Structure 1
Amino acid sequence: MSAMLPISNEPVLPALPATVLPAIAALTASLGIPRTVLASDEEIAYAWRDLPREIREIPSELRDALIARMCVAVSTGLFDGAINYAWNAAIIQLRSKVKNFGLPIVAQILQADFEERHLLELQDSRLLDLCLKLNLITEDGFFFLDQCRDVRNNYSAAHPTIGSINDREFVTFLNRCVRYALADTSSPRGVDIGAFIAAVKGARFTGNQFGVWLQRLNATHDAQRQLLVAMVHGIYCDPNASEPGRLNSLDVCESLKASFNAATRSDLVNRHSEYAAKGDEPRHTASVQFFEKLGLLVLLNESEQHAVFFRATERLWNAHNGMNNFYNEPPFAERLYEISQQGAVPETVQEHFVQTISCCYVGNGYGVSWGAAATYEMLVKSFSPREIAAMIRLAASNQTILGRRVAGLSSCRQRLKQALHLIDPASVPSGVKAWYDYFIA
C-alpha cells in the first residue's frame, strides 16, 4: 500500500448538492440555450475536487469574502467569474505588501510622489512592475502573474471575453495566484534611505542606534539591502567623508557581510572596478582598504591582491629594518597575518612574503621582536607547501638575506630549526626534503 501524501490545514468543502448540477441544466433549457455554453458537470466536479488543495495554501487570514465568492462561482461552473475573484484577492494582497513596505520609501525609490491614492489607482501591470522592483515578487512570480493578468483581462467576467476556460485552466490560474501572491504573507519593510544615509554620515553610532538600523536592514529584502550596502561603500570611499561616517559604513558592512549574496558581492566589485576605470585614485585606494578591512580581498583580481600583499609585506620589512624594530614590528605583523587569512598569497609576491616572515622570525644579531613572535609563529604554521619550499630554499642559499643570517648567526640557525618544527613534516615537498632534514638535524 503506497504512503499517503501529508495534508495539512486542507479545508473540507461540502459536496455539491444533487440539485446544483441539474439546476444548471434546467436553467439553460428554460432559456432555450445549449447546456454546452456553460462548464460541463464533469468540469465542475473536477474543479470542485481540486479546489481544497489550492485553498489550503492560502493563510486563514486571507480566506475572505472573495475566496468564498470564488468557491460559489466554481460550484456553478462560472470559471470566468471565479478567476476574477481570485485575481482581485491576489491584487489586494500585493497592494498590502507595497503599503507595508512603506509608501514614503516607495516614493524615495521611484523619486516621485507616491501616496495611498496612487497605489489604488495603479494599473495591475504597473503594480506587478513595482512589486518586482521592490523585490516583493520574484522574476518567476512576475512572469506567471503577468500571464494571469492576460488571462483575467481576456477570459474573465471583468471584461467581454474572447473565449472560455476549462477546469484545468482555472486550477492552474488559481495555483499561480496562490503561489506567487496569496501564499506568502511575509511582507518586508523598506528602509528609509534618506534617514539611513543621514545616520551613517552623522556622529558615531551608539549601541542602541546601530542595533535599530541593523534590525531594519535585516528585515528588508535583498535588493534594497544591496542598494544600501553600495551606498555605504560609496560613503567610505568618498575623500570628503568624515571619519565617523567611514567607521559607521564599516560597522554596517561588517555586520551584514555574512549575508552578502552573489549580487551584492558582484555590485561591490563592479563599483570598485569603476573607480579604477575612471582613474579615481583616492576612491580606488579607499575601496581597496574597504575590501581589506572586511576580509573580502579574495573578491579582487590578482594584480590588486598582489599590491595589497606586497604593500603590507613591505611595511613589515621596513619596520624590521628600521629603528626600534622590536617595538614597531607587532602591528605590521598582525596586519599581514589578517590579510593572509583572507586567501592564498599571490604567487607574484610569495617569495618576498616568505622571506620577510622568515627573517623576522629568526631575527638578527640583536635578537627578535618578542611582541610579534606569536604572530610570526601563526604565519609560519599557515605556510602552504609552496611557501614551505620557498623558506627552505631561501635558508639554504647564501645569496639571500635569510641564507646569510642562518649561515652566519647561530641564534638564527636555532630559530630556523624552531620554525621548521612548527611545520608538519608531511607538508614538506620532496624537492627540499634533504635540506629540511639537514636544518632539523
Structure 2
Amino acid sequence: MHHDPKTNPNTINNILGLAQTVWKAATHPTKLRLGAKFGYFRVNGETARKDRVQIFLDTVDGNSYKDEDSLSQELIEKLQALRSAHYNNNNFYNEYPYAESLKASLAPVGIPKAAQYDFVKIVSTCAIGNGLGYKQGVDERALPIYEDLINRFGDEEIIIFCKLFEDHEFIGDLHKSTASNRAKTMADYLKGRTHNVLIQNVLSEIFNGHNLAKITLVSSFKTALGNLS
C-alpha cells in the first residue's frame, strides 16, 4: 500500500507511523526483499514507486538493505561526495556529514564489489588525512566513522589498500610526515587484521618505509606487492 502512488497521504502517514516498530520485528530476509524493491522499481523506470521505497527505507533506517546494484551506485556517489569534501577548503569541518551518510548506506553483508576500490581509497585517504593543520589533517568528528569503516576491511580490501601506493592521487600527501605516519599506523593496524602472510609482508614494508610517496621504487616492496598478484 505504501509503495502504490494511488494510496492517499493519510494512509501513507499512518503506515510510516507504524513502520519502525514493524521493521524491528521483521526478519532479515524480509528486510532484504523490501530493499530489493528499490532496485526493481529503479530498473523498470517506476520512479514514483522507487521514491516511495526510498521514503520508507529512510524512515526505518533501512537503506543498507537495498539490492547490491543500487547500493553500489549509491555508495559510489556518496564516496565521490566525501572525496570532494576532503579536497575542498575546510575539510576538517566538512567531511563528517558525508562520512555519516556513507556509513548509513553500508550493507550488513559487506562492501559491494563495484564500490570496493573507491571505498577503500577514499576512506583510507580521509582517515590518513592531508598532513596539514593542528588536527593532523583529519576531520576529528568523522574519524570514529572512518575507524569503524576500516574495521570492516577484509583481505580483499586490505590488498586494495596495499596497491593504493601505486595510485598517484592517494600518495599525493604522503611526503608530509604527519600523513606518512598515519598511513604507517593504518598499515600496522591492518596487519593485525589478516592472517595472510603475503599481505602482512606488504604491510610491514609500508610500516617500515622511509618515503611512502616513493615506496614503489623500493625493490623489496615491489617484490612483496608482486606476490599478491
Tell me the amino acid that sits aligned with residue 302 of structure 1.
E
Tell me the amino acid that sits aligned with residue 139 of structure 2.
S
- Alignment check: 8 A CA contact 1:389 1:428 kept: no
Higher relative contact order, chain-length normalized (CA < 8 Å, sep 6+): 2
1:393 lines up with 2:163 in the alignment: yes
Q: How does 1:359-378 map to 2 (within 5 A)?
A: 359-366=125-132, 367-378=137-148
SS of 1:427's partner is coil
Q: 1:339 aligns with which of 89, 105, 112?
A: 105
1:328 lines up with 2:98 in the alignment: no
- Alignment check: 8 A CA contact 1:354 1:390 kept: yes
- Report the CA distance between 1:266 and its aligned residue: 7.3
Quick one: structure 1 residues 252 and 316, their matched pair in 2 at CA, closer, same or farther if it must change by over 3 Å? Answer: farther
Gaps of 5+ in 1: 1-230
- Alignment check: 8 A CA contact 2:37 2:50 kept: no
| In structure 2, distance between residues paired with 1:424 and 1:418 | 10
- Report the CA distance between 1:294 and its aligned residue: 3.5
| In structure 1, distance between residues paired with 2:188 and 2:36 | 44
Aligned to 1:303: 69
- Alignment check: 8 A CA contact 2:64 2:104 kept: no
SS of 2:138's partner is coil
Quick one: structure 1 residues 289 and 427, their matched pair in 2 at CA, closer, same or farther if it must change by over 3 Å? Answer: farther
- Report the CA distance between 1:341 and its aligned residue: 5.4
1:318 lines up with 2:84 in the alignment: yes
- Report the CA distance between 1:403 and its aligned residue: 2.4
Aligned to 2:220: none
- Report the CA distance between 1:368 and its aligned residue: 1.5
- Report the CA distance between 1:337 and its aligned residue: 2.0
Alignment RMSD (CA, Å): 3.3
Aligned to 1:418: 185
Q: 2:153 aligns with which of 360, 383, 388?
A: 383
Q: Deviations over 1:303-349 (max 9, x none)?
A: 11211211221221122122322111111112212322533111111
Aligned to 1:59: none
Q: Deviations over 1:340-393 (max 9, x none)?
A: 253311111101011111110111142221121121111112212211121122
SS of 1:382's partner is coil
Q: How does 1:201-212 map to 2 (within 5 A)?
A: none
Aligned to 1:268: 34
Aligned to 1:435: 202
Quick one: structure 1 residues 264 and 414, their matched pair in 2 at CA, closer, same or farther if it must change by over 3 Å? Answer: closer
Quick one: structure 1 residues 273 and 331, their matched pair in 2 at CA, closer, same or farther if it must change by over 3 Å? Answer: closer
Identity of aligned residues (%): 23
Tell me the amino acid that sits aligned with residue 420 of structure 1.
A
- Report the CA distance between 1:275 and its aligned residue: 2.9
- Report the CA distance between 1:286 and its aligned residue: 4.8
Gaps of 5+ in 2: 209-229
Q: 1:405 aligns with which of 161, 173, 177?
A: 173
Pairs aligned (count): 203
Q: How does 1:59-208 map to 2 (within 5 A)?
A: none
Normalised by the length of structure 1, the TM-score is 0.40
Q: 2:20 aligns with which of 254, 262, 276?
A: 254
Q: How does 1:220-239 map to 2 (within 5 A)?
A: 231-234=1-4
| In structure 2, distance between residues paired with 1:321 and 1:352 | 15
